[in-house]
């Protein structure tokens, strides 16, 4: 169980640090990432055996990352981790190829046990660890076949370098076949009967690398560069070697040249493609041959040839009938940019052979990452342009808008980011008629989303389940959408999907549910966030029973104004439900210049009569006056909830509990905290209209059911 390469993917440093130390003590090589995007970059650049992957990640969540990893290389075993999972989440993870599922907090013994099971599976299937795969020319490495001018030129360079003298530096993106090129050099350089030794510099500490290469701190043992080794020494990821070692490496390479034929030739590869940008000049110039392997997107004509070669090979290996790609699928594959290059192409072909039962592999059989890159939505938008010039202007304008928003509309930073002068940027802004909301004298409002994804976790109010949410920015016009972390089903935050208002507001469609949404929606309403994906496990976490944590979450993420208007709903008539006689339940909504709520409630003591008026001036007023107000409930309601299978969490610290005489479990944040919380709920429920409304609301003893009834009435009568 030694020398496995394990990738830990979690945005909680405490989890990563605790696992890192224990696993390294066991002899494993540890890599880490805090989000799914970085995890994929590592998988595409380093051989990895096992991934421990948290489900709740910002941006690309754990399930999406799992599918992308399996699409890239199905041999990598993935173990999902979560502190707030459900049985359904575990089932979905296993369905998408996860080896196992660990619920936090877990013991290190559980981690060791799952690694042992993976090791046993690999031994049964005959697969070794990624870090110890033998390098050979049997096709396990990315192929350099093809007929394009680019690859033919590279093959000529490899042949020439192999037959000559001197050390060789291989440049190229991840997966372009640098190790296979090194194998070809070994075979063609008269060294075939001598050793081919491979060292990955990225997997060794500076001290370990120095000991391997120069033999230091190893009594009685010589280093690979100093011990008379003959053959080819392949140094992977040389650019990760410490800069202070470059000079010594350069000197040693010079000395090796003097040994003549039959000695040791060094073939090195870098992760990055610019040698002088990653290696000190002396080291870069120590290589007599430099070969740049082109990315697959620069030799697209080779893709059909390679696909056919891989199809034939894997059909033979798996003993199945020969398969082929349908024309539409082949077109998608040829136009895909292949960030993992030939390695990704090979893994994709093998997956298709194993997973597609039919002879023809259709476009629908391809992974979503490839199908979505075709962007059918964009293709429809091309119809709007009558000429290439018009389309180019639209693209340039959107490019400028993207970078202006990314740099908070700071002209000097934006100009530097896109490598033009600030004077030229100002000219382009004027030319394309770009205007900013902050500079708009009309006061017109624009749509908003978050600047970055966020993850929070907590507990469901009613179910007591551990749960969480992932907030992901969406483009203009998307609206607020709830998504399910397990099934990827979505529900728009719209009144038409409300199915229950008992104790909280709940949405539901055919395949998914979103419960207890009102506090989250109230916060989005007050911050005027109009486009956002909210992924949950059926229920939004209740946090401390208020909206304070949701405010902090939005402010930590930052708000991005978008290039699309966000007009308020402006009322033209008065709406009333209930009998307005001062004592019964009623609600009045009438036209106004801004959004405000005057709420009255009358409960038996210790609550009594409370009345409060809130005017939504800005998010600060909401954060100060309303957001801290917590959910409250009476002891008599707890029994009713338990009879319905709710309130099963056994925790009473996330709402105010009241008996017949006193508040049982906490100190109030406001003397009138109860009425303020009623306003909080109403702000959330009214955001089910999809955008802010200008209205003056007067309400007496109303709840979620009355709020949603009024929202439906406004929607229907105003034809929203």
Distance from C-alpha of 706 to C-alpha of 686, rounded to nearest angstrom: 11
Sheet with strand 100-103: strands edge to edge:
29-33, 5-9, 50-54, 77-82, 100-103
Nearest alpha carbon to residue 512 among 494, 531, 487: 487
Report the 3 state secondary structure along 255-281: HHHCCCCCCEEEEEECCCCCHHHHCCH
Where are the strands (E) in 48-187, listed by range?
50-54, 77-82, 100-103, 168-172
Active-site position among 180, 677, 704, 719: 704
Tokens standing for residue 59: 């941006």
The label of the residue with tokens 């090194």 reads 182
Tokens standing for residue 633: 């409930």
Alpha carbon of 319 to those of 122, 260, 357: distances in Å? 21, 48, 13
Distance from C-alpha of 406 to C-alpha of 418, rounded to nearest angstrom: 11
Tell me if residue 197 falls in helix, strand or coil.
strand
Which DSSP state fits 437?
G
Report whether 100 contacts 114 (CB < 8 A): yes
Residues 303-329: b if buried by 16+ CB within 10 A, e if exposed: bebbbebbbebbbeeeeeeebebbeeb
As a whole number of Å, the CA-based R_g of the chain is 31
Nearest alpha carbon to residue 368 among 647, 652, 71, 79: 71
Q: What's CA 469's distance to the chain center, in Å?
A: 13
Q: What's CA 323's distance to the chain center, in Å?
A: 33
533, β-bridge pairs:
472, 481
Which DSSP state fits 201?
G
Report whether 69 contacts 46 (CB < 8 A): no
Alpha carbon of 544 to those of 315, 457, 458: distances in Å? 57, 12, 9
Distance from C-alpha of 526 to C-alpha of 548, rounded to nearest angstrom: 12
514, β-bridge pairs:
507
Report whether 346 contacts 176 (CB < 8 A): no
Nearest alpha carbon to residue 525 among 507, 552, 551: 551
525 is catalytic: no
Do the strands 498-500 and 506-508 form a parallel or antiparallel pair, or are they unpaired?
antiparallel
Helix then strand then coil, in percent of the chain rounded to 5, is 40, 20, 35
Go through the chain and tell me how many residues it has: 720
Q: Using the Cα atoms of residue 558, residue 561, residue 566 and residue 569 in order, give the sign of their dihedral.
A: positive
Report whether 249 contacts 255 (CB < 8 A): no
Report whether 661 contacts 597 (CB < 8 A): no
Catalytic residues, by residue number, are: 704
């Amino acid at each position: 169980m030694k020398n496995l390469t394990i990738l830990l993917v979690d945005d909680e440093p405490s989890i990563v640090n605790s696992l890192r130390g224990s696993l390294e003590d066991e002899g494993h090589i540890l890599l880490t990432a805090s989000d799914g995007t970085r995890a994929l970059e590592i998988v595409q650049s380093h051989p990895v055996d096992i991934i421990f992957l948290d489900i709740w990640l910002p941006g690309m969540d754990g399930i999406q990352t799992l599918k992308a990893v399996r699409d890239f290389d199905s041999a990598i075993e993935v173990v999902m981790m979560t502190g707030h999972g459900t049985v359904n989440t575990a089932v979905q993870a296993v369905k998408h190829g996860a080896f196992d599922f660990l619920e936090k907090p877990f013991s290190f013994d559980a981690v060791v046990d799952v690694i042992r099971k993976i090791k046993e599976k690999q031994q049964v299937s005959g697969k070794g660890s990624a870090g110890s795969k033998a390098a050979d020319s049997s096709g396990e490495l990315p192929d350099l076949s093809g007929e394009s001018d680019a690859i033919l030129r590279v093959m000529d360079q490899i042949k020439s370098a192999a037959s000559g003298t001197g050390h060789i530096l291989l440049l190229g993106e991840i997966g372009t076949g640098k190790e296979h090129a090194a194998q070809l050099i070994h075979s063609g350089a008269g060294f075939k009967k001598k050793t081919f030794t491979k060292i990955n510099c990225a997997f060794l500490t500076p001290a370990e690398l120095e000991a391997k290469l120069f033999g230091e701190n190893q009594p009685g043992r010589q280093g690979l560069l100093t011990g008379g080794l003959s053959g080819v020494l392949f140094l992977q990821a040389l650019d990760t070697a410490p800069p202070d070692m470059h000079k010594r490496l350069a000197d040693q390479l010079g000395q090796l040249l003097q040994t003549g034929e039959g000695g040791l030739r060094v073939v090195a590869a870098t992760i990055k493609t610019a040698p002088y940008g990653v290696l000190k000049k002396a080291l870069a110039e120590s290589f007599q041959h430099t070969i740049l392997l082109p990315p697959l997107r620069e030799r697209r004509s080779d893709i059909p040839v390679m696909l056919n070669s891989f199809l034939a090979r894997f059909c033979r290996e798996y003993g199945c009938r020969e398969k082929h790609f349908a024309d539409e699928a082949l077109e998608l594959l040829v136009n895909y940019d292949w960030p993992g290059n030939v390695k990704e192409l090979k893994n994709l072909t093998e997956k298709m052979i194993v997973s597609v039962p039919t002879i023809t592999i259709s476009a629908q059989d391809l992974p979503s990452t490839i199908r979505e890159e075709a962007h059918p939505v964009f293709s429809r938008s091309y119809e709007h342009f009558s000429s290439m010039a018009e389309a180019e202007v639209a693209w340039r304008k959107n490019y400028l808008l993207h970078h202006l928003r990314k740099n908070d509309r700071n002209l000097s930073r934006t100009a530097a980011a896109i490598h033009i002068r600030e004077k030229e940027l100002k000219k382009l802004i004027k030319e394309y008629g770009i205007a900013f909301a902050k500079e708009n004298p009309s006061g017109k409002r624009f749509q908003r989303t978050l600047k970055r994804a966020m993850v929070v976790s907590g507990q469901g109010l009613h179910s007591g389940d551990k749960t969480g949410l992932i907030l992901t920015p969406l483009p203009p016009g998307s609206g607020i959408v709830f998504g399910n972390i397990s099934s990827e089903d979505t529900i728009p935050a719209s009144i038409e999907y409300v199915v229950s208002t008992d104790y909280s507001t709940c949405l539901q469609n055919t395949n998914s549910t979103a419960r207890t949404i009102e506090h989250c929606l109230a916060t989005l309403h007050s911050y005027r966030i109009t486009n956002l994906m909210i992924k949950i496990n059926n229920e939004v976490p209740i946090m401390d029973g208020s909206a304070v944590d949701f405010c902090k979450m939005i402010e930590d993420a930052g708000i991005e104004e978008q290039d699309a208007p966000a007009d308020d709903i402006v009322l033209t008539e008065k709406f009333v439900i209930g009998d307005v006689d001062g004592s019964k339940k009623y609600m009045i909504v009438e036209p106004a210049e801004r959004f405000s709520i005057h709420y009255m409630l009358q409960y038996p003591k210790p609550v009594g009569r409370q009345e409060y008026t809130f005017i939504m001036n800005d998010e600060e007023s909401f954060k100060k006056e309303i957001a801290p107000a917590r959910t409250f409930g009476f002891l008599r309601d707890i029994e009713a909830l338990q009879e319905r299978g709710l309130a099963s969490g056994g925790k009473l610290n996330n709402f105010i509990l009241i008996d017949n005489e006193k508040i049982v479990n906490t100190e109030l944040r406001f003397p009138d905290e109860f009425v303020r919380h009623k306003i909080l709920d109403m702000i959330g429920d009214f955001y089910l209209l999809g955008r802010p409304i200008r209205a003056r609301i007067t309400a007496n003893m109303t709840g979620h059911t009355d709020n949603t009834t009024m929202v439906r009435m406004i929607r229907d009568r105003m034809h929203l």
